[in-house]
Structure 1
Amino acid sequence: MQGFLLVDKPSGITSFGAVARIKRLANEKRVGHTGTLDPMATGVLPIFIGKATALSSYLAESDKKYVATVRLGLTTDTDDVTGNIIATSKVGVSDDDVISALSGFKGRVRQTPPVYSAIKQNGVRMYRLARQGLDVKAPEREVEIKDISLISGLDEQNEFSFSATVSKGTYIRSLARDIGETLGCGATLSRLKRTFVSNFDIKDAVPLDSLTSENIKEYIKNEADALPFLTSIGVTEKQAVRFANGGELSLDRLNANGLCDRQIIKVFFGNTFIGLGIVSFEKQMLLIKCNINRP
């Protein structure tokens, strides 16, 4: 079994756990996801199956959109409500204050990832070190908040919700924490749903719990559909065989007008997706990035 599966992950299961379930249902050892979701989080989790796992890194670079709910007046060690409470404080802010705080995060910002994260420090996941009581801190990094807006104002629990479109590597837990610091009362993430990855909306995702070994094939898409943002090029059967066997293709013999140097493109023979190539103006060749199917 091979292809691309768009899953709506429920709360209470890790992304690794979702992958393990797909492995069993698809009876396929090679299964991987792109863009980890915390156990508490729900929403879009793209999954690649079979040889298509070679494509997962390309989707991981894409922007993502979230709907998040933040609780003010509460600070935890994980930056979400599943963690241990570090501090509580009174909340004396308005919706206008929240809107103002949110606007301050739009654009490129410096962000420190949560201590309880999958980032590696000296080869070990930081959450493992934190659970051992070790003093760890992830290095600050630059991320981009491309859009952020309030969608639901403060309620009786001092919670509000916002939507955000963010770049790769952005932690919404960290964003919630930083918003609380800006407002002067602390904050933690109470709910999170990923609603969009690359070109894929949550309405196109299948709930993980509705998948069975009998129906999973119905939801698996062609792996090339996972990369709609890449340019496609058609080749002849002879060229397809050569490419699939590890041979580079001459740009002079391809319809390569308008391509850029080092551009990654999808290679097709008819309707068959052969793999990914990378343009080399220096060699005047289409080099092999990865092979997925044979013609």
Structure 2
Amino acid sequence: MNGVINIYKERGMTSFQVVASVKRITGIKKVGHTGTLDPEAEGVLPVCIGRATKLVDYIMDGEKIYRASFQFGKISDTLDAFGEVQETGAPLPKRENVDEMLQSFLGTTKQIPPMYSALKVQGKRLYELARDGKEIPREAREIHVSKIHLIEYCDHSGEGSFLLGCSKGTYVRSIIDDLGRMLGSGAIMTGLIREATGEFQKEASATLNQLEQEGVEKYLIEMEGVLKNFPAFVVPDAFLNLIVNGVKVKDQRLVSEVKAGLYKGLDGQGKLLGILERTEDILYLKLNLM
């Protein structure tokens, strides 16, 4: 069994627990998820099975869509409602100010990962260090926000939610914490739903319970389907052995057939070979999926 299942991770589970459950349900040991969701977050978590685990990085690169809820007037050591929360006592911002300030997050910026995160530094996850009362310097990382808009907000309670489109590695909790600081009241995240990651949408996802009751096959997306947006290129028989064996082919009879970029490589019978890459004057099998 090779492919991807668009899992809807329910609140209260870790991403690791989802992977363990898929291993148990399928009986397959080679399983991996495509980007950690915090235990208290929920939503789309594509899980790769078998040879499709090689596609994890490609799926993770896709844009993420989140629906996040927040509360002004509070701060937390974890930047969300699940840590040690304190009231700030500061005045709550008005809707127009929240809406305007959210727009300042658009575009490419740098963000420092929070201490309570699964990011590894020198072999240890940051949240493990944070639980021991340690805080270490973290290097700011580039993130990109393509869209962000307020869905709802109450001036009286300081509660609201927004929709966010962003690159991988973006910490929504940090955006909310920054928003609270910028507006002078403090803010924490109170809920998070990942609506989509790349082509994987919430509407087409399945819970672990559905997998158990209805069978994995109903929800398994074959590898070629996962690569549906890659242009296809059929490798001529004369070059097939070279490509399959990882040779970087410079022969212009082959290379001139495609422009620079990534392709879904197929043989003459339509069998998926993997991901081909054409760079300058060579064509080669960048990722073998056979």
TM over 0.5: yes
Q: Give the C-alpha shift of residue 56 in structure 1.
A: 0.8
Cα distance 1:156–1:141, how it changes in 2: closer, same or farther (>3 A)? Answer: same
Q: Give the C-alpha shift of residue 253 in structure 1.
A: 4.2
TM-score (norm 2): 0.92
Quote the Cα distance in structure 2 between the aligned partners of 1:121 and 1:86.
28
Quote the Cα distance in structure 2 between the aligned partners of 1:111 and 1:89.
27
Cross-structure match for 2:148: 148
The amino acid across from 1:123 in the alignment is G
Q: Give the C-alpha shift of residue 85 in structure 1.
A: 1.8
Cross-structure match for 2:8: 8
Q: Deviations over 1:92-133 (max 9, x none)?
A: 321111101111111122222111111122221111111111
Cross-structure match for 2:263: 265
Cross-structure match for 1:44: 44
Q: Is the 8 A contact 2:258 2:278 kept in 1?
A: no
Q: Deviations over 1:162-213 (max 9, x none)?
A: 0010012111010111111111110111011111111222111112332118
Quote the Cα distance in structure 1 between the aligned partners of 2:194 and 2:45.
8
Quote the Cα distance in structure 2 between the aligned partners of 1:8 and 1:256.
43
Cross-structure match for 2:276: 277
TM-score (norm 1): 0.90
Quote the Cα distance in structure 1 between the aligned partners of 2:277 and 2:88.
53
Cross-structure match for 1:111: 111
CA RMSD, aligned part only?
2.1
Quote the Cα distance in structure 2 between the aligned partners of 1:10 and 1:183.
32
Q: Deviations over 1:239-270 (max 9, x none)?
A: 4455334445555344853411xx33221124
Q: Is the 8 A contact 2:112 2:141 kept in 1?
A: yes
Cross-structure match for 1:161: 161
Cross-structure match for 1:289: 286
Cα distance 1:271–1:221, how it changes in 2: closer, same or farther (>3 A)? Answer: farther
Cα distance 1:136–1:278, how it changes in 2: closer, same or farther (>3 A)? Answer: same
Unaligned runs of 5+ in 1: none
Identity of matched residues, %: 34
Give matches, 1:117-128, under 5 Å: 117-128=117-128
Unaligned runs of 5+ in 2: none
| Number of residue pairs matched by the alignment | 289
